[in-house]
Homo-oligomer: A and B are copies of this chain.
Amino acid sequence: MSVLSDERPIGFIDSGVGGLTVVKEAMRQLPNEKIIYLGDTARCPYGPRPAEQVIEFTWQMTRFLLNENIKMLVIACNTATAVALEEIKKSVDIPVIGVIQPGSRAALKASKNGHVGIIGTLGTIKSDSYRLEIQEKAPETQVISLACPKFVPIVESNQFASSVAKKVVSYTLATLKNKKIDTLVLGCTHYPLLRPIIHHVMGPDVTLIDSGAETVSDVSALLDYFDLNNLNRTIIKQHQFFTTGSPKMFKDIASDWLNIDSLDVTHIELGGK
């Protein structure tokens, strides 16, 4: 219905490769949109870092993408969303979306027995954002949170299908078994790469919520609401990926996960460690 077309890219930021799970869903649901991605691999994981530092790093990534003239910013990282979303959303003049609200909403929709598990990084679990968000809307919901600090390093080192991964996931999640939860939020965008193993460990009766994939529905709703869709498909757009770490390692994981051979990956420097 609109006659306007906004051809600027949508920006995605993450501490590393985790946000690619959001990008994959965005490519599927929004095939007209150009994506520009920045993973701060050199300083990953964000999970154990103090909140002030995560906020600072998130601002650095945000400013980099604002310079690339993005029309919307997706903070495709739960740790960064938990501590930096509200501040950045208030301060920049494009729509900014995090992954925690969409993930929380999906968990509330999915759970039938009102017992929801959350797994995430140390930072995300410490922020208690998912529990607050969920209980804000449904105070009677029982929320069990568990930090899984070993998961991100496994994914970033491209070992997410290894036998080590199986052992670590099984050992870490043991405490969530027999806890009555019927829904488990993958509260870190890296975790969907471990989804088959997590599914195997938790069993078929636990619904896994991919907070990143849920986020793309919100991206789509806001593109419509703010009239920001790209309607011009005659200009072929090449997605762009930036990493503060090794482009080779990033490309290996990204090509595999996104199922694209020729990815445009560039190394950049953001700041100190």
A residues contacting B by CB (< 8 A) are 1-2, 29, 31-32, 85-86, 95, 97, 100-102, 105, 109, 129, 132-133, 136-139, 217-218, 220-222, 224-225, 229, 231, 233
Contact = CB atoms under 8 A, between A and B. Distances in A.
Contacts of A2: 136
Contacts of A220: 105
B102 A221 contact: yes
A101 B132 CA distance: 31
18 contacts: A1-B86, A1-B100, A1-B129, A1-B136, A29-B109, A31-B138, A32-B137, A97-B225, A102-B221, A105-B224, A136-B231, A137-B229, A137-B231, A139-B233, A217-B217, A217-B221, A221-B221, A222-B225
A114 B66 CA distance: 36
A118 to B, nearest CB: 14
Nearest to A231: B136
Contacts of A1: 85-86, 100-101, 129, 132-133, 136
Q: Indicate how many identical chains form the complex.
A: 2
Contacts of A231: 136-137
A31 B140 CA distance: 13
Contacts of A95: 225
Nearest to A135: B231
A138 to B, nearest CB: 7
A238 B55 CA distance: 42
A229 B95 CA distance: 18
A98 B204 CA distance: 37
Give the top 10 A-B pairs by smallest Cβ distance, nearest first: A101-B224, A218-B221, A221-B221, A136-B231, A1-B133, A1-B129, A1-B132, A105-B220, A217-B217, A32-B137
Contacts of A225: 95, 97, 218, 222
A123 B138 CA distance: 40
A217 B139 CA distance: 20
Query: Counting chain B CB atoms within 10 Å of each CB, which of A102, A133, A225 scores highest?
Result: A225
A173 B8 CA distance: 42
Nearest to A85: B1
A143 to B, nearest CB: 14
A95 B225 CA distance: 9
* Residue from the set A1, A85, A101, A139 with the largest chain B CB neighbour count within 10 Å: A1
B136 A229 contact: yes
Nearest to A220: B105
Contacts of A105: 220-221, 224
Nearest to A138: B31
